[in-house]
Amino acid sequence: MDPKQIWQAVLGEIEINISKANFVTWFNNTYISEIKDGSIIVAVPNGFSKEWLENKYGKFIKQSLSKHCDRVSSIEYKIIPIQKTPAAPKNQKSQPHARASIENQTPPPNLNSRYLFESLVVGSHNELARAACESVAKNPGQNYNPLFIYGGVGLGKTHLIQAIGNYVSQNTPQLFVKYVTSEKFTSELVDAIKKQSIDIFKEKYKKIDLLLIDDIQFIGGKEKTQEEFFHIFNTLYQENKQIVLCSDRPPKSIATLEERLRSRFEGGMIVDVIRPDLETRIAILAKKARNLNSPPIPAEVLEYIAKNIHHNVRELEGVLNKLVATCQLQGYSPDLQNAKIILQDSFSKIITESLTPDKIINIVCDFYGIEKEKIKSKARGSEIMKPRQVAIYLIRKKAKLSYPSIGKELGGRDHTTIMHAYNKIKSLLKQDPSLKQELISIQEQCSC
Ligand code: ADP
Ligand code: MG
């Protein structure tokens, strides 16, 4: 076998053993650049891949290589940057803009100073996202551009994206950082249009070295915003400026996102954050508890909270704060017995709230960008049928309503129609990975 075939065989083996996101992230643009007397040099595109291949996958790669080569004495990972075709004429590649020169026109980065890499607890649920963010913070514009982070509510996306901003502001203060939500971006744009100052708006954005846009899913359906954002995106990208985007769902699930933007978003690196496991939830609580002005909270109390809240780190924080505040006010000690009395209501509220059909309908409508009245109406266009069927499926599965009751919730539909819709989604889920992903995103928002 030649080096290319050997590496293909190794990749084939690795691909079936790790997640797609990990595979694409770490193994794209890797190849064997040299084999000589059992010494193999694997080319990797950047220092970051080198670190991960060496440390996380080194053993695995070695085992696999040994199967396909006669004698493997050493494996070395060597950084050989990818030769990109320049998108802009070379001499136009701009230098970072000195902050001082634009300070007057641009507001400060608008970052929460608590959102740091150090304050983020890392678990398997966010390991990849955190590593990608750190890499971007250390080498903006060089490794993963754009970086697209998605995941459910309260799982640390804003924390991560702002940690990049804080890191860069502290370590490379000459770079101009802007953090903005997509809603703020839209309202700034609308304002600029009203004031006929759209050129100033564009100029301002094009001077940014690190653009962090949060909740980019809200750009869906806003044509003018997408149009302007597309141009700003291209300008920044061509000048190797870093763009990081957060969303509650992957690009392909953002309804009414223009194809050209979708393909831009998919052209960089996409990472997800999922729900933390029990150990990580306990670790998060322990870290937060240490920072609170409170008597030590016993481990069994942290475990009790972590076992009752599975979906959302913000809720974990909220419940812990409630416990500490109540204990302080009433002079109780934060032991398990008191915790159970104080927190019981919070837990049952979170559970029942997450299970009402109405909440599911609202989230589904929000997700697909349709009005609630429409989903309950007789309308039959495919843009409405699918969300309706998804809502039916979720209400049945998560709120456990009977078919006739679901029919009532959805504008008085017959139970056979409901049953048909439920079965349809159930069977589609087996064949359609993008529908599966949509359901995961929606359920994360339902916290169910
Ligand atoms: P999202 O943007 O995904 O909705 P946030 O970033 O706003 O979520 O996170 C919600 C809260 O939970 C924030 O206060 C954040 O600091 C905290 N948080 C989330 N994940 C972690 C983590 N892994 N370690 C520590 N704090 C976390
Ligand atoms: Mg957020």
Long-range contacts of residues 62-71, Cβ cutoff 8 Å, at least 24 apart: 64/9, 64/10, 64/13, 64/14, 65/6, 65/10, 65/40, 67/9, 67/13, 68/1, 68/6, 68/9, 68/10, 69/6, 69/35, 69/38, 69/40, 70/38, 71/38
pLDDT tens, residue by residue, 385-429: 999 999 999 999 888 888 999 999 999 999 999 999 999 999 999
Q: Is the pLDDT of residue 136 over 90?
A: yes
C-alpha 294 to ligand 1 mean position (Å): 21
Give the nearest ligand 1 atom to 121 CA.
24
Is 91's pLDDT higher than 70? no
- Residue 82's pLDDT is 67
Q: Measured in angstroms, how far is the CA atom of residue 301 from the centroid of ligand 1? A: 21
Q: How sure is the predictor about 87, in pLDDT bands with cuts at 50, 70 and 90?
A: very low
pLDDT confidence of residue 214: 97
Question: Residue 88 above 60 pLDDT?
Answer: no
pLDDT > 90? residue 134: yes
Predicted confidence at residue 351, as pLDDT, reads 57
**Are the C-beta atoms of 57 and 13 separated by less than 8 Å?**
no
**pLDDT one-digit tens code per residue, 239-277:** 999 999 999 999 988 878 888 899 999 989 999 999 999
Ligand 1 atom closest to the Cα of residue 287 is 25
Q: For a pLDDT cut of 70, what percent of the chain falls above it?
A: 90
* Cβ < 6 A, ligand 1 pocket: 120-121, 126, 153-159, 284, 313-314, 317
Find the mean pLDDT for residues 296-322. Answer: 93
Instruction: Give pTM, 2 decimals.
Output: 0.69
150: nearest Cα among 360, 438, 448: 438
159 alpha carbon – ligand 2 mean position (Å): 7
Q: How far is the CA of 183 from the centre of ligand 2 (A)?
A: 12
Q: What mean pLDDT, rounded, does the chain reach?
A: 87
Lowest mean pLDDT of 199-203, 205-209, 444-448, name the range.
444-448
Residue 86 is predicted with a pLDDT of: 42
Measured in Å, residue 181 CA sits from the centre of ligand 2 at 9
What is the position in ligand 1's atom list of the atom closest to the CA of 115?
A: 16
- Is the confidence at residue 98, as pLDDT, over 80? no
Ligand nearest to the CA of 182: 2
Mutate to test the pocket of ligand 1, among 121, 160, 313 (most ligand atoms within 8 A of CB): 313
Residue 13's pLDDT is 84
3-class DSSP state of 6: helix
Residue 355 is predicted with a pLDDT of 67
Q: Which residues pair with 331 in a beta bridge?
A: none
